[in-house]
Amino acid sequence: MALGVAGLAMVLVPAALSGYLDDILRIAKASVQQTGLFGFVALVVMQFLVAATGILPASLLGIAGGAVYGFAGGSAMALVGTLAGGIVGYYVGRKGLQNVPFTNTKIVGGLDKVKQFLAADGWRSVFLIRLSPVVPFAATSIALGASGIRLADYVIGTAASLPALFGYVYVGSLLGNAASLESPEFHQVFLLMLAGGVIAGATLVGRFVMYKHNSETT
């Protein structure tokens, strides 16, 4: 259900915004480019804050970065800001929530099983979780930190999932080149990312169910 809503939003939101978002992005592009390096650094810092706090969807700044600096520059901005913000979120969860006590035995048992699965599956689970279009980036960072998963697995899985964010950067780069939000190419990109998220989510659930079954039968 949630994935269906996300997919519908991915298709309808661009169409609904097409009447005025093009003009807004062109004005923003001209304004930011006039600031030179400062503008690029400012976008990196904004991406970092978004990735660390979740105050906005990271995809929005990915689109903005692509519109202003093109695919290569926008991808570099998204890579640096997102990874840095994600690591901060990881440590917030690791230091602040990892040892939070729960009195409900069912909750404790369920969380322990998830932690064991994440520890065993490593970066693959992080990668699959990150590809989901309905899981907030910052909240996931904190939860993964609290799970106790190794930092190396966390960083590798997060980095491996960044091509999904680069898809939004690509959308922004098309806007920066005066493409229209009504272009079929936009819908193709969004639907491709949605399909990837659905496949990743189904794969993650399947891996967890298999792990749980194997652990209970051995």
Residues 165-201 have pLDDT tens digits of: 888 888 888 776 655 556 677 677 778 878 888 888 8
Quote the tokens at residue 60: 């929005």
Question: For residue 43, which of 69, 72, 17, 22 has the smallest C-alpha distance?
Answer: 69
Is the pTM for the entire model greater than 0.85? no
Q: What is the pLDDT of residue 4?
A: 41
Q: What is the pLDDT of residue 56?
A: 80
Amino acid at 148: G
Q: What is the pLDDT of residue 25?
A: 61
Q: Per-residue pLDDT averaged across 37-46, rounded?
A: 85
CA–CA gap between residue 171 and residue 191 (Å, rounded): 12
Helix axes 123-130, 184-217, angle to 10 degrees: 140
pLDDT value at 41 more than 80: yes
Determine phi and psi for 135, rounding to 5 degrees. Answer: -100, 115
Number of folded domains in the chain?
Answer: 1
Q: What is the pLDDT of residue 11?
A: 43
Q: Per-residue pLDDT averaged across 76-92, rounded?
A: 92
Amino acid at 116: Q
Share of the chain above pLDDT 90, in %: 14
Give the range of the structural domain holding residue 182, as residue numbers without chain letter: 2-217
Q: What is the pLDDT of residue 110?
A: 64
